[in-house]
Amino acid sequence: MEASPKPAIVLVRPQLGQNIGKAARAMLNFGLTEMRIVAPRDGWPNPDAGPSASGADIVLERARVFDTVKQAVADCSAIYASTVRRRDLVMPVLSPEAMAKEIASSSAPSCILFGPERSGLETEDVALAKAIVTVPINPDFGSLNLAQAVILLAYEWSKRSELAVPPDKPLEPVAPHGELEGLIGQLDEALVEKGYFHPPSRTEATRNTLRTIFTKSGWSSREVKAVRGVIRALMGPERRRD
């Protein structure tokens, strides 16, 4: 199955170059590289963006600047507006998870709008979107900065991307049962020597419990050898420390 296009991140009238850089860093952490900037207050390029990006230079170098939101989203079929403010607009309100699911299941170009740091998106900006995206947030302190908002939604998208696939590292094969029996026998001998099984009436039940611990966990040969080494060290004479 072909992967869905990555969403573009559209920063609408951002105010500080530092925040643009931090947003770029948040994007690249989760595999997003297409930043679109609409009418940045201090112009573009901004010398404060680079240091704040902490190495996410590829995002800043590829960033495209537009005069209006309409121009920035003209090639997108699915537009999502990130906002925590209530709106007098009749449109779907999605969670980040629902937004990410829609993006991942579609081949249509998509983008996510983020408003200025101080005021957020204007109603006219939100009206261009197919849905509002909002996060559960403290109603008495709904203050997310720009980079925080970007990282929340970028993370949700990344959970449905190739980044969510764990590294391909083969697991160790499970140890043969004979190796486990050797470990259990060694442990039993050590416990008998130390008088562990008491009272005698509980000896068999205790042995069964210990056997269950070692046989149900899928130990590898390496792990079995490591534990047997521990038992030998505990039972043998103390090593001299010169």
Q: How many whole angstroms separate alpha carbon 179 and alpha carbon 172?
A: 15
Average pLDDT, the chain: 89
Q: Are 100 and 135 in contact, with CB atoms under 8 Å apart? A: no
Give the pLDDT score at 168: 65
Q: Please indicate, yes or no, if residue 170 is contained in any of the structural domains.
A: no
- Range of weakest confidence among 86-100, 121-135, 180-194: 86-100
Q: Do 189 and 212 fall within a single domain?
A: yes
Q: CB-based burial of residue 101 (10 Å sphere; 0-12 exposed, 13-18 middle, 19+ buried)?
A: middle
Q: What is the pTM of this model?
A: 0.70
Q: Do 145 and 195 fall within a single domain?
A: no
pLDDT at 83 over 60: yes
Res. 120 pLDDT band, cuts 50 70 90: confident
pLDDT at 1 over 60: no
Which domain, by its residues, includes 151? 8-164
pLDDT tens column, 128-179: 999 999 988 887 887 788 999 999 999 999 998 877 666 666 778 888 999 9
Q: Are 9 and 34 in contact, with CB atoms under 8 Å apart? A: yes
Q: Please indicate, yes or no, if residue 169 is contained in any of the structural domains.
A: no
Residue 203: give its domain's CATH number.
Answer: 1.10.8
pLDDT at 216 over 90: no
Give the pLDDT score at 70: 97
Q: Do 82 and 202 fall within a single domain?
A: no
Res. 199 pLDDT band, cuts 50 70 90: confident
Residue 111 contacts by C-beta under 8 Å, 6 or more apart in sequence?
7, 8, 9, 10, 36, 72, 73, 76, 78, 79, 80
Q: Please indicate, yes or no, if residue 33 is contained in any of the structural domains.
A: yes
pLDDT tens column, 4-58: 899 999 999 999 999 999 999 999 999 999 999 999 999 999 999 999 999 999 9
Q: Do 62 and 159 fall within a single domain?
A: yes
